Amino acid sequence: MKLRPTILGCNSLRSNSPSIKINISGVSSGSKTLGHTFLSPKEITIKSADFTKYKAALKKAKVIVDQNERRQVIENALNEYHINEPELLEEVTNLVEWPVILECGFDESYLKLPTPVIESAMKSHQRYFPVKDKDGKLQNRFIVVANMPATKEIKEGNERVIRARLSDALFFWEQDRKTPLLEYAKRLDTIAFLGKLGTMAEKTKRLEELAVFIAEVCNYKNAVNTIRQAARLCKADLLTGMVGEFPDLQGIMGYEYLKNSEPDTAIAIKEHYQPRFAGDTLPQTPAGICLSLAEKFDNLIAAFAIDLKPTGSSDPYGLRRQGRAIVDIILNHGLRNLSLKPIHNQAIKLLLPNLPSGQTFGYYITVFVSERLTQIYLEAGYPKELIDAVLDTGLENIYQSKLRIETLSKLSRDPLWDELLEVVERTYNIGKGVKIEGEVNEALLTAPEEKELWNAYKQNKDKIQDLINKEQYEEASRMYHQVFARPAHIFFEKVFVNVPEQDIRQNRILLNQKINRLYSEQIADLSRIPRVTTCNKAT
């Protein structure tokens, strides 16, 4: 769509005001513009700075200025074919000025190609909309959004283009299948991975070992053989003619070429790229889950190692998407045994021969993943203060953070909430900025209130710890409240902590720090939450 250089005066209170005299990139403002290149190429004079009149004038000249109106015109037509392609719809909306819907077709013989191949030829290469029947089966028809009234020549031209695309695809499909996928895999050492970090052959070896490591952690040991075979072949289709022509089909073609002979391996190959985009299907099989996580961890570690991490709005390697995918997979599949640090360490160890010496990246990846997790919880409606309180205890285990944030959201609606906050907050504040190690000296406990508080801690800390270890966070929180709310309140009312005697002062601070750490270092640092803040999940 051609650019419209006219820059009009915009004073809505003075509809007859002249245009504003400015110049942008060599284009001066004025009162003249152009209509559709072919349907109305004559100059149009805009007589007043009235946007409604401006749109009306352009519409007469076969240009729909409002993109929402253009989108609606296209969407209404697509609905008649039961087509739902929101991303392609958005792209096509911005490619046309005067959308006209045209139904085209192709020879039915091309339907023997895998559906993803035909859809890629249409959507990615030509911006055509595939047509399917009510059961989702692809038809030998497609929809073109033309930028001018449909003619026989336009229809035949688009059909000729897709016929050439599908003819090429059919050739690659037939040629690729003459060579086993394993043979393609043997040539992966000819493809570089991120330029500085070895070859794709080396990457597949890392993926194999890291995916097996993840499988053992997640108790997917029965999937190890499939994981090993899939890892060795998952990048092989990069060397096929089909992926060379249609790069967006990597992983998909590996599946297509192998699905009849090794279906389990084929599924894992396809799933290891998933999710490819927001809202895409997550991997579902144990082998696919482990290989997908290995792929994304390896990509993150590698990119951070050579300083390719995202900056601002720039993320050319899709690392934010992959970080979010890691979180989505772990949360949706309940991978409660999977902690980040061991995975980071293993991924770094496997990549170490190719890494700059002396560099470690585990901490930075944890922070990066934590940012993705924070966004997910914000989208779910949890308050930022509650999210920070949970994640500040550490992000070793993503699934446990989900259990903790759900528990605290529930407890925040309970009458005990304010007292629970008070215990954690006051035991934190009394020792804030003071670092004391060691054990409480019982001989220095003189006040009855501090003895009672110490006894409450001694008698119940192991029980509370046991509940935390079992991920019974609600029960642990209720017991913590029951044990400490009353004696801690009395302690702060009756006992002066900051006495002149250093040993007594530090002993009392240490007692409070132990009580605080029992909760704030394992469940949530509730001292971060203002007592007026509601922590309920939005409904």
Instruction: Looking at the structure, tell me whether residues 247 and 346 fall in a common domain.
Output: yes
Question: Is 159 within the bounds of a domain?
Answer: yes
The pLDDT value given to residue 17? 53
Residue 534: inside a domain, yes or no? no
Element (H, E) at 370: helix 362-379
- 212 and 336: one domain? yes
pLDDT band at residue 357 under the 50/70/90 scheme:
low
Whether 339 maps to a domain, the answer reads: yes
Q: Is 359 in the same domain as 426?
A: no
Mean pLDDT of the 278-301 span: 95
Residues 38 and 81 in one domain: no
pLDDT for 186 beyond 80: yes
- In angstroms, rounded to a whole number, what is the distance separating the alpha carbons of residues 466 and 2? 68
Query: Does 23 have pLDDT greater than 90?
Result: no
**What is the pLDDT, as a whole number, of residue 40?**
87
Peptide bond into 275 cis (omega under 30): yes
Q: Is 120 part of any domain?
A: yes
Q: Is the pLDDT of residue 483 over 70?
A: yes
Has residue 1 got a pLDDT over 60? no
pLDDT digits (tens, 9 = 90+) for 192-215: 998 778 899 999 999 999 999 999
| Residue range(s) defining the domain that contains residue 521 | 415-528
Residue 402 lies in a domain: no
Overall average pLDDT of the 70-99 stretch = 95
CB atoms within 10 A of CB 268: 31
Lowest mean pLDDT among 105-114, 311-320, 354-363: 354-363
Contact by Cβ (8 Å): 102, 150: yes
| Together in a domain, 210 and 139 | no
Which of 25-29, 169-173, 242-246, 534-538 has the weakest average pLDDT? 534-538
CATH number of the domain within which 190 lies: 1.10.3210
Q: Please, which pLDDT band fits residue 534 given cuts at 50, 70 and 90?
A: very low
CA distances to 111, 184, 319, 350 from 298, rounded to whole Å, are: 37, 22, 11, 9
What pLDDT is recorded for position 6?
45
Is the pLDDT assigned to residue 139 strictly greater than 70? Answer: yes
| Judgement on whether residues 246 and 328 belong to the same structural domain of the protein | yes
Q: Are residues 221 and 79 in the same domain?
A: no
Residues 111 and 153 in one domain: yes
pLDDT of residue 435: 82
Q: How many CB atoms are located within 10 Å of the residue 539 CB?
A: 4
15 pLDDT exceeds 60? Answer: no
Residue 41 has pLDDT above 90, yes or no: no
Instruction: Tell me: do 486 and 499 sit in the same domain.
Output: yes
Name the domain count of the chain: 4
Which position has the higher pLDDT, 513 or 538? 513
Q: State residue 115's pLDDT score.
A: 97
The phi, psi pair for 128, rounded to 5°, reads: -95, 155
Assess whether pLDDT exceeds 60 at residue 14: no
pLDDT at 275: 96
Query: What pLDDT does residue 77 have?
Result: 95
Q: Quick check: 19 pLDDT over 80?
A: no
| Backbone φ/ψ region at 339: left (φ over 0), alpha (ψ -120 to 50), beta | beta
pLDDT at res. 18? 56
Residues 6+ apart with CB under 8 A from 62: 35, 36, 39, 40, 97, 98, 148
Instruction: Give the DSSP H/E element, type plus range, for residue 45.
Output: strand 43-45
| Sign of the alpha-carbon dihedral angle for 431, 434, 440, 445 | negative
**Highest mean pLDDT: which of 1-5, 146-150, 157-161?**
157-161
Instruction: Assess whether pLDDT exceeds 60 at residue 221.
Output: yes
pLDDT bracket for residue 240 (50, 70, 90): very high
- Average pLDDT over every residue of 127-152: 94
pLDDT of 11 reads 37
- 52 and 85 in a single domain? The answer is no
Whether residue 4 is predicted with pLDDT greater than 50 in this model: the reply is no
Label residue 532 by pLDDT band (50, 70, 90): low
Average pLDDT over residues 440-452: 94
Instruction: Name the average pLDDT for the chain.
Output: 90
Indicate if 61 and 79 belong to the same structural domain. Answer: no
Asked if residue 320 has pLDDT above 90, the reply is yes
In percent, how much of the chain has pLDDT > 90?
73
**pLDDT reported for residue 356:** 61
- Percent pLDDT > 70 in the chain is 93
Average pLDDT over residues 334-358: 84
- pLDDT band of 219, cuts 50, 70, 90: very high
d(CA 385, CA 530): 8
Residue 314 has a pLDDT of 86
Q: Of the candidates 128, 154, 176, which is a domain's last residue?
A: 176
Q: What is the pTM of this model?
A: 0.86
Dump pLDDT digits (tens) for 88-130. Answer: 999 999 999 999 999 999 999 999 999 999 999 999 989 999 9
Is the residue at 493 inside a domain? Answer: yes
74 lies in the same domain as 55 = no
Nearest to 504 by CA among 447, 433, 420, 426: 447
Is 399 part of a structural domain of the chain?
no
Looking up residue 467, the CATH number of its domain turns out to be 1.10.730
Domain closes at, from 65, 92, 120 = 65
Quick check: 405 pLDDT over 90? yes
pLDDT, tens only, 450-466: 999 999 999 999 999 99
**Last residue of one domain, picked from the residues 10, 34, 65:** 65
Which pLDDT band, with edges at 50, 70 and 90, does 537 fall under? Answer: low
Q: Indicate whether 397 belongs to any domain.
A: no
Q: Quick one: pLDDT at residue 528?
A: 86
